[in-house]
Structure 1
Amino acid sequence: MAQVQPTSNQSVGTWPAILTIVLFFLSNIAVIFPLRLPVPFSISRAIRHALVSARVLPENPDEPQAAKRTYLHFNFITVPLISVLILLAAGVFDAGTLRDGIVGTGGVRPLNIMGLFISLAYISISLDATGLFRFLAFWVASRGGSSGRRLFTYLYVFFLLCGVIVGNDPVVLLGTPFLAYFTRVAGITPPTAWIFSQFAAANMASVVLVSANLTNLVLSEAFSLSFLAYAAHVVLPFLAAAVCVFPVLLFGLFRSPTLVPRRIDIGLDPNEVRATLVDRKGAIFGSALLVATLGVLVGVSTIGVPVWTVTVPPAVIMLLRDTYYDWSRRHLRTHPRSPTPSESPSPTIASGDIPLENVVSQKTAASLELREVHAPGTAPHDRIHGPPRTPSPHAAQSPRARKATPPPPRRGPALVPRLQAVHARVTATFPTVTYVAARLPVALLPFAFLMFILVQGLAAQGWVQVFARWWEAWVRRTGTLGAIGGMGFLSCMLCNFCGTNIGATILLARVLQVWIASGSSTENPQTHDGAIYALAVGSNFGAPTLTFSASLAGLLWRQILLQKGIQVRNSQFLIVNLPISFVAMLAASVVLVGQVYVEHPR
């Protein structure tokens, strides 16, 4: 395990320490309650005028004086960034704090973690572009027959398996639109039972593999856990939680026939199910690549190979495959032909996996070229070939007027329209690549790095050492049961108040590192292992607890549901998820207690 030296016994009553923890909590509050403040029209117009003058934005003489209101957003990225900048300007943070927060210290290597995370995310989303997950979901649904409860069970197990393999974010990203469509077609209103069971299954299953959740990656790096050892310690608690939560869902929370009908007629025939798989070869290739990558990760995790070196090359291979797939089919999109009776339209477009608006028609592309390629000083109508136009009498009679007021010099197009035209051409040529790139969880990267930096600042100011002393006092009083139960409860609750489960995991991992470095945990290996794996379980199971912001998957889940016309209130999220998380955490903790006693008998 990576060794961390306890921080110095400096006082946390100094103004730098107080400012650090205040800004840390403000950054976390911004995740739960994001704000937006309107920008005064005078300022927004001045900024727009400056951008127009700099040829960044195009001129728009038809725009009304009362321009559209613009806002400053204070959210999970901007507020942590402002906090870090304030601490830098005040001299609280130095270059060493920034370096440790980005490069890593104490066994936590953010760059390594982010490389693995974004690589696996690309492979997973690329598999979605092939239609694989939609095909599997419809295939599972067709196996359920007309029994609503059987279908509910099949989908619950299906989302558990998917969550184990690809993690909670891809399951939320891919499964939520499917459920919205499926429940609408099946006439299930409201879809509460199906969407909440999916969300619970995805977040419980993401605890199994290190690669399935960013929080697992943080823990494996912080405590030098091999992928195999990590999975061996959490798979039984996961199974216990999944088994115990299912009757709570089906026979407790969602026992009403309105929520889970006794009979469902979805009317899917085999041809319709097969049609959802738009790229069969790509699905087979991507699945084999993902399985091989996960297998290599498990194999090399015991010999200290940086995980990014295992996951980045397969992601690049998948990117190259997607690029070739799009390039080889560009003529089918730019030169469409009428299909014969035995043919069907291009599945990539017809299936809806690649949004139709992303494919630019040949006519649109040609019009873009006509607007941009004309010679300077040439009016648009001069590009149209035809007979010369006869000058009007008014034009012949007033040559001096034209000389006195010459037309303004024609300038080239602004930067933004140029970029938009380039983006349209790239999207038309490579629809799959742009589809995947647009759905990558890139916003997680700056957020995670900023949280790493802020937590490193808390450690530098002595706060982590204070928390570690509190934790040590708790464990000395309560023993192994208190270590597992206390860390499980803390991690679940702090997911809601510490910048999602990512921020909670980073902070609590630092606390445990200091506690372990002090030598207190070596006296009882049961409390040592119990606390670490209780944090692993709680950081995943904490996503469905009190607030959407307990995880970025929760924020993504709510956003997708709103796009599909399904609204989940904050109170409903809490009321439904609280018993789910309580039962899941209780079952997992009981099994975890038994595990550590069997593994480390006294």
Structure 2
Amino acid sequence: MDLSDVSIETDQIREWRSIVTLIVFFLANIVVLFPFHIPVYIPVRLWHAVLDSLSTLRVIPPREKDSHHGRRDGGASQFVRKRFPMNSVTAPLIADLFLLAILAIGRDEVKAGTLGDNGIFPLDIMVFFITLAYIAISIDASGLIRYLALKVLQWGGKVGHRLFFYLYAFFFGLGTFIGNDPIILSGTAFLAYMTRVSNNIKHPRAWIFTQFSIANIASAILVSSNPTNLVLAGAFNVKFIEYTANMVVPVVVTAIVLFPFLLYIVFANEGLIPVSIKMRELPAEAKLKPAVNPNIPNARGTADEDEETHTNDDQGQLLSLVEIMNPFLDKGGAAFGAIIMSVTLITVLAINAASVKTKNDEHFQVFWVTLPAAFVMLYHL
């Protein structure tokens, strides 16, 4: 059907399924914003039968024989109470299944909503973003971000405003290329540790909120840094290089204007961003210890438990200081990940700028580039 024959006049919406679809869409968004749980009562025998089956298939650990199979006292309940989550995962799925059941949507809508239509390709966008995010997080797992943050900390020294600017510029520059998620994942922990081992930073909110702000602003430059960018570029058929060319100036200007506003107005407090930061020094014996990979479970032994137990005393601050001043760095993994990320982004930008099409003159799926790159990264690890 020709799209020019389709009316967009809202007063012609009389089909009840269209109205129900709008209501369901609204309710699903409400549930996503305000998740809750629904109590569900399952027969005990059925519940144990399911768990036994999962245990037999080695999906879950083996179960103790004397703790199930319906053995219960006469007054015990015959049902087990579970809580079914209604959240960002279950609500949209249930909404889609309901719309399918009442025939408000059909096979064509499901296909278009998955494979894509009218310039928007959801499957392409999600696989592209997930695979590129995996490469970025792999770089983070190598310890590169924490190591670079340590170097910035050393360059900034103990001058509070200068260190605030260096970290601000560091997160902006890094967020431009690898997106906001790896920055927030690793940078938040780094800033939390840094403010804990300082004697005169009373609260970390100035540093952490600034990181959130600048990382999200920086992710607007490249299409690959944020799913929203991908949707907009695809919907309006904007080439990636054109998108970046039009976004780089407003993003940079915003970052320049935002910095003094945050430093001298929003967080103008000596307890948040001191003029001079008093940092604890790392003992000599701690500097000689080999760095521990935080991505390996229990690699630090009881250090994690000790850190939680001694949060506010000298021992807890020493453990936090070690996390900052003696970070783990896999040089080979960091270099390999940086190369893979650079080659992937350059290839995607080049293919998109050249408007490459398939043999059938179809849209070139960008995840055809990022998915193999993610598998190469996985194989290397």
**TM-score bin (small chain):** 0.7 to 0.9
Render the CA deviation track for 1:218-273: whole Å, top value 9, x for unaligned.
11211222111100001111011111111221111100101111211335679877
Render the CA deviation track for 1:259-298: whole Å, top value 9, x for unaligned.
1112113356798778424211111111122112112222
Instruction: For residue 7 of structure 1, report the CA deviation from its aligned partner.
Output: 3.8
- Aligned match of 2:34: 33
**Alpha-carbon distance between aligned partners in 2 of 1:138 and 1:55, rounded to the nearest angstrom:** 46
Over aligned residue pairs, what C-alpha RMSD do you find?
A: 2.5
Q: Which runs of 5+ in 1 are unaligned?
A: 323-602
- Aligned match of 1:329: none
Render the CA deviation track for 1:544-582: whole Å, top value 9, x for unaligned.
xxxxxxxxxxxxxxxxxxxxxxxxxxxxxxxxxxxxxxx
Structure 1 stretches of 4+ moved >6 Å: 63-68, 268-274
The letter of the residue matching 2:14 is: G
How many percent of aligned residue pairs carry the same amino acid? 41
Q: 1:216 is paired with a residue of what secondary structure?
A: helix
- Aligned match of 1:191: 204
Q: 2:335 is paired with a residue of what secondary structure?
A: helix
Q: 2:164 is paired with a residue of what secondary structure?
A: helix
- Aligned match of 1:71: 83
Contact 1:159 1:202 in 2 (8 A): yes
- Give the direction of change, closer, same or farther, for the CA distance of 1:158–1:293 in structure 2 (3 Å limit): same
Count, aligned residues = 318
What is the 5 A alignment of 1:345-424? none
- The answer to which structure, 1 or 2, has the higher relative contact order (CA under 8 A, 6+ apart) is 1
Which protein has the bigger helix share? 1
- Give the direction of change, closer, same or farther, for the CA distance of 1:106–1:261 in structure 2 (3 Å limit): same
Provide the TM-score with structure 1 as the length reference: 0.50
What is the 5 A alignment of 1:202-281? 202-267=215-280, 275-281=326-332
Q: Say which is worse superposed, 68-77 or 98-107, in terms of deviation.
A: 68-77
**Alpha-carbon distance between aligned partners in 2 of 1:250 and 1:154, rounded to the nearest angstrom:** 13
- Aligned match of 2:370: 311
**Alpha-carbon distance between aligned partners in 2 of 1:261 and 1:69, rounded to the nearest angstrom:** 52
**Alpha-carbon distance between aligned partners in 1 of 2:54 and 2:353, rounded to the nearest angstrom:** 55
**Alpha-carbon distance between aligned partners in 2 of 1:9 and 1:230, rounded to the nearest angstrom:** 29
Contact 1:124 1:170 in 2 (8 A): yes
Contact 1:186 1:265 in 2 (8 A): yes
What is the 5 A alignment of 1:142-541? 142-187=154-199, 188-267=201-280, 275-305=326-356, 306=364, 307-322=366-381
Instruction: For residue 309 of structure 1, report the CA deviation from its aligned partner.
Output: 2.0
- Give the direction of change, closer, same or farther, for the CA distance of 1:39–1:257 in structure 2 (3 Å limit): same
Q: 1:301 is paired with a residue of what secondary structure?
A: helix
- Aligned match of 2:149: 137
Contact 1:44 1:70 in 2 (8 A): no
Contact 2:43 2:80 in 1 (8 A): no
**Alpha-carbon distance between aligned partners in 2 of 1:88 and 1:217, rounded to the nearest angstrom:** 27
**Alpha-carbon distance between aligned partners in 2 of 1:62 and 1:113, rounded to the nearest angstrom:** 47
Contact 1:289 1:314 in 2 (8 A): yes
Q: 2:270 is paired with a residue of what secondary structure?
A: coil
- Give the direction of change, closer, same or farther, for the CA distance of 1:45–1:260 in structure 2 (3 Å limit): farther
**Over alpha carbons, which structure has the higher Rg?**
1
**Alpha-carbon distance between aligned partners in 2 of 1:47 and 1:255, rounded to the nearest angstrom:** 60
Provide the TM-score with structure 2 as the length reference: 0.77
Q: Which runs of 5+ in 2 are unaligned?
A: 289-321, 357-363
- Aligned match of 1:48: 47
Render the CA deviation track for 1:479-510: whole Å, top value 9, x for unaligned.
xxxxxxxxxxxxxxxxxxxxxxxxxxxxxxxx
- Give the direction of change, closer, same or farther, for the CA distance of 1:249–1:6 in structure 2 (3 Å limit): farther
Instruction: For residue 55 of structure 1, report the CA deviation from its aligned partner.
Output: 5.4
Q: 1:186 is paired with a residue of what secondary structure?
A: coil
Instruction: For residue 12 of structure 1, report the CA deviation from its aligned partner.
Output: 2.2
- Give the direction of change, closer, same or farther, for the CA distance of 1:304–1:46 in structure 2 (3 Å limit): farther
**Alpha-carbon distance between aligned partners in 1 of 2:337 and 2:281, rounded to the nearest angstrom:** 26
**Alpha-carbon distance between aligned partners in 2 of 1:186 and 1:55, rounded to the nearest angstrom:** 49
